[in-house]
Structure 1
Amino acid sequence: MTTDPPVLLLAPRINETGLQLRTAAGLRGLRARTAASWQAPRDLLGAAVHVYGGPLFADAVGRELGLALLEPAEDWLARLPLGLTGRRVSATTLAEARGLRGPAFVKPPADKLFAARVYPDGRALPGPALLDGDTRVLVSEVVRFRTEFRLFVLDGAVRTGSRYAQDGDLSVAPLGADGPEVLAFARDVLAASASHAPLPSAVVVDVGRTDRGWAVVEANAAWASGGYAADPGEVLDVVLRSSGPAAQLPVADWTFRRELPEVVR
């Protein structure tokens, strides 16, 4: 009796990371294909499928394909110690944030419902006609990240990483000479997270250097994150764990499952 290998299903609008993952999957003997549309392929229903793509694609196909998509808790960053975030961060609602009287960095914690940036005050945020007041947001004290790095984490350890920005501009490169400092700070973050704000077993954590020192930028779902100059094979390991069949999900990850909508065809 033979068992078909798992399938890595990529969103229709494939990006550079998707291309790298497709190659890495093929080298490993996995099936990899790019979806022809924003619908779950009929021939993959009941198969062992993993996905890579943005939230819209995940929501469109996830429930039908029986997936468990892991993402960090919305308030993860706000629950970390100030010594790791490097600035005050609070998890609140858009209604509360609209009352801000000064500048703050405001972002939706997961989906890109509006632009994540520095707002001069709460009046500049999307109004009630655009988004409900109970929309969850993260509000941060404004800091300037000089250099930013993306780290792919599996089972509490960094598997690979990449620089992705300098002074707010895209700047992709391997960790290089920054690697030892980045990884040392990451170990502190992951150790503190284990006790203060747990993460799913497969996740992306972004960190960076500010004028005040090292600080956490944010955490994101691995199945929707760009790999930049990270090792594609290691990225693939993290993506596969973060977006696989729900029946294979470890119990410890149950609380990190994304709520997937039921799609009516």
Structure 2
Amino acid sequence: MTGPAVTAPAAPQRVLLTSAQPTSTTALLTETAARRGLATAVLDGPATVGHLAGRPVHWYGGPLAAARIAAPLGLALLEPDDDWLARLPHEFTRRRIELTTLADARTLRHPAFVKPPADKSIPPAVYPDGSRLPRTGDRIGPDTPVLVSEPVTFAAEYRLFVLDGEVRTGSRYARFGRLDPAPLTADATAFARRLLDALGDTLPGAVALDVGPIAHPYDPVEHWAVVEANLPWFAHCYAADPERVLDVVLRAAGPAADLAEADRRFVRRPPAGRRQSRRARPASTRPTRPPDTRRTPPVPRADAGRYGGR
């Protein structure tokens, strides 16, 4: 005689937690998550964190809020290495890029595009020289890491959402620095696949990759390049498929217990413990002469490095 069947306890319902700042991407991902059967919640204060403690939570929102909730909610937030862009071969960047500190970047004597590698602690922009860089702020100091690059103009920019080395979805988001969403093109996908085939193991398993063709006044040939690698959990989806964007977001910002072994080295750490694969080269060791004007496009790209702001 057999006893009554034992029913395994149901797995806790997963939750997509979003920041209190509404965006079109937040709305799209929340609707998509609800259709899949996930619970959704908005981070409107410490009580929200207490209510969700112990449940499997995924995050979509900014890095400042993420830093406050990651430990109490057991979140593993994936991000590329700070110096990933600077380490890429020239064939994938088509410009000079170096990781240095804000103190060293202030010694620059020529125009350069300067941005933080993973947040908005200083405004990403083309600065006429290092003296124009911010000197005060709540989250900046002499050792703040920054990427310094040769100014270029991207004729178009595309964001591709990548999961385990495969492009899942994407879209154009800008033309010549102006917001202009449109469908993803075959050329953008082909360039991203070439990069991922060569260097996919240098990125987290879930990442948002921005690429585009550089406009050059003296070279009619279209040269594709990487704009940057972004945090999927703080990246606008523009015209990409929100169903597939959500797949990438859930993997990029979810329970630490779900973390793949290969992704452990990409888990976001506090600023004091940030990762770079090799020592940053001080900006003061670089030549201080102005860039060759024959190589610098007439309209420098001044708005690179956007994350989820629009």
Following the alignment from structure 1 to structure 2, what is the Cα–Cα distance between the partners of residues 2 and 125?
54
Question: 1:172 is paired with a residue of what secondary structure?
Answer: strand
> C-alpha offsets along residues 98-121 of structure 1, whole Å, 9 cap, x if unaligned?
111100000000110011010001
- How high is the TM-score relative to the length of structure 1? 0.92
Q: Which amino acid aligns with 2:175?
A: Q
Following the alignment from structure 2 to structure 1, what is the Cα–Cα distance between the partners of residues 213 and 263?
30
Tell me: CA distance 1:41–1:129, structure 2 relative to 1, closer, same or farther (3 Å). closer
Task: Quote the residue 2:208 is aligned against.
Answer: 204
Task: Quote the residue 2:197 is aligned against.
Answer: 191
Q: Is the 8 A contact 1:104 1:118 kept in 2?
A: yes
Following the alignment from structure 1 to structure 2, what is the Cα–Cα distance between the partners of residues 42 and 215?
44
> C-alpha offsets along residues 135-165 of structure 1, whole Å, 9 cap, x if unaligned?
1000000100110000100001110001100
Question: 1:60 is paired with a residue of what secondary structure?
Answer: helix
Task: Report the alpha carbon displacement of residue 40 of structure 1 after superposing the two structures with TM.
Answer: 4.5
1:257 aligns to 2:263 (yes or no): no
Q: Percent identity?
A: 53
Count of residues in Structure 1 that have an aligned counterpart in Structure 2: 256
Following the alignment from structure 1 to structure 2, what is the Cα–Cα distance between the partners of residues 16 and 97?
35
Q: 2:171 aligns with which of 162, 177, 199?
A: 162
Q: Is the 8 A contact 2:158 2:210 kept in 1?
A: yes
Greater CA drift, 213-222 or 54-63: 54-63
Q: 1:54 aligns with which of 62, 81, 84?
A: 62
Q: Which amino acid aligns with 2:231?
A: A
Task: Report the alpha carbon displacement of residue 128 of structure 1 after superposing the two structures with TM.
Answer: 6.1
Task: Report the alpha carbon displacement of residue 192 of structure 1 after superposing the two structures with TM.
Answer: 2.6
Task: Report the alpha carbon displacement of residue 127 of structure 1 after superposing the two structures with TM.
Answer: 2.1
Question: 1:227 is paired with a residue of what secondary structure?
Answer: coil
Tell me: CA distance 1:201–1:129, structure 2 relative to 1, closer, same or farther (3 Å). closer
Tell me: CA distance 1:59–1:95, structure 2 relative to 1, closer, same or farther (3 Å). same
Question: 2:148 is paired with a residue of what secondary structure?
Answer: strand
Q: Is the 8 A contact 1:62 1:260 kept in 2?
A: no
Following the alignment from structure 1 to structure 2, what is the Cα–Cα distance between the partners of residues 42 and 18?
22
Following the alignment from structure 1 to structure 2, what is the Cα–Cα distance between the partners of residues 199 and 39?
34
Following the alignment from structure 2 to structure 1, what is the Cα–Cα distance between the partners of residues 72 and 48?
7
Q: Is the 8 A contact 1:105 1:140 kept in 2?
A: yes
Greater CA drift, 44-53 or 184-193: 184-193
Following the alignment from structure 2 to structure 1, what is the Cα–Cα distance between the partners of residues 199 and 47?
36
Task: Report the alpha carbon displacement of residue 260 of structure 1 after superposing the two structures with TM.
Answer: 4.8
Task: Quote the residue 2:86 is aligned against.
Answer: 78
Task: Report the alpha carbon displacement of residue 39 of structure 1 after superposing the two structures with TM.
Answer: 6.0
Question: 2:44 is paired with a residue of what secondary structure?
Answer: coil
Q: Is the 8 A contact 1:149 1:207 kept in 2?
A: yes
Tell me: CA distance 1:166–1:237, structure 2 relative to 1, closer, same or farther (3 Å). same
Q: Which amino acid aligns with 1:80?
A: L
- Rg larger in 1 or in 2? 2
Question: 1:211 is paired with a residue of what secondary structure?
Answer: strand
Greater CA drift, 204-213 or 223-232: 204-213
Map 1:107-122 → 2, pairs under 5 A: 107-122=115-130
Question: 1:110 is paired with a residue of what secondary structure?
Answer: coil
Q: Is the 8 A contact 2:155 2:213 kept in 1?
A: yes
Following the alignment from structure 1 to structure 2, what is the Cα–Cα distance between the partners of residues 160 and 32?
23
Following the alignment from structure 1 to structure 2, what is the Cα–Cα distance between the partners of residues 217 and 229?
18
CA RMSD in angstroms comes to 1.6
Structure 2 unaligned segments of length 5 or more: list them: 1-8, 217-222, 272-310
> C-alpha offsets along residues 184-239 of structure 1, whole Å, 9 cap, x if unaligned?
100111123236xx000001000011125111000011101111110000000000
